[in-house]
Chain A
Amino acid sequence: GQQLNQSPQSMFIQEGEDVSMNCTSSSIFNTWLWYKQDPGEGPVLLIALYKAGELTSNGRLTAQFGITRKDSFLNISASIPSDVGIYFCAGLQSGGSNYKLTFGKGTLLTVNP
């Protein structure tokens, strides 16, 4: 099965800095989702995007559904130590099952206090 191209693989930043990560695909997606996973736990949904061009915020997090429907990005502003974790993008491919997600490989975020 196809996996999304998520970058960067890892990031090391100072507390207070902004963070940006993205996912790209060669296929068109109908839905983009962004998750955060803490060590040893299941992922938790951060933001869901359903329309091309959609820009959605959740506190310090902002995500956008690319106009081409082949990409999405997640920004975290003014990072804090509890932002540490693995961030995953996931999507529903156009023409595929409405409930079968494709996941990126994740971005490991480390925040230095």
Chain B
Amino acid sequence: DGGITQSPKYLFRKEGQNVTLSCEQNLNHDAMYWYRQDPGQGLRLIYYSQIVNDFQKGDIAEGYSVSREKKESFPLTVTSAQKNPTAFYLCASIGLGSSWDTQYFGPGTRLTVL
């Protein structure tokens, strides 16, 4: 079955440590996204990528980094520079030129920084 996987589901880290969240899709989608979700805040865009080896900052990119070395993978690193990293992180993908009913979200990773 095609879809998006995010791992792990829950992640705990000590303050000051970098942590990398995984996002993999086997849908052959061109565009991939990372969102952050806080209670009552909706989804805010961190980074997105429309093609391999290229990505753009979203609205809240400070303290985060990404890479897009392969079409199916878009890992997100939460660095120690991110002042409030505890949140629910969602990855999504869509094929360029496709309608929005082909967009999928992953199940999310809940990151807690202690």
B-contacting residues of A (Cβ < 8 Å)? 1, 3, 6, 9, 31, 33, 40-45, 48, 88, 90, 99-101, 103-106
Q: Determine whether the beta carbon of A42 is less than 8 Å from that of B45.
A: no
Which of B90, B92, B100 has the most chain A CB within a 10 Å cutoff? B100
B75 contacts partner chain A, Cβ-Cβ < 8 Å: no
Closest residue on chain B to residue A49 by CB atoms:
B100
- Count of B interface residues, CB-CB < 8 Å: 28
* B92 nearest in chain A by CB position: A42
Q: Residue B74 at the A interface, CB < 8 A?
A: no
- CB of B58 closer than 8 Å to a CB of A: yes
B42 A42 Cβ-Cβ under 8 A: no
Q: A43–B37 Cα gap in the complex (Å)? A: 11
Q: Mark interface residues in B13-43 (1 if CB within 8 Å of A CB, else 0).
A: 0000000000000000001000100001111
A-B contact count (CB 8 A): 56
Tell me which of B43, B50, B110 contacts A43 (CB under 8 A): B43
B87 within 8 A of A: no
Q: A40-B108, A41-B108 are in contact. Are A1 and B101 (CB under 8 A)?
A: no
The docked-state distance in angstroms from the alpha carbon of A90 to that of B41 is 13
Contacts of A3 in B (CB 8 A): 42, 44
B94 interface residue per 8 A CB criterion: yes
Please judge, given known A-B contacts A31-B100, A42-B108, whether A105 and B45 are in contact too, CB under 8 Å.
no
Q: How far is the CA of A31 from the CA of B108 in the complex (A)?
A: 25
Q: Is the CB of A99 within 8 A of B94?
A: yes
Q: Is B55 an interface residue (CB 8 A)?
A: no
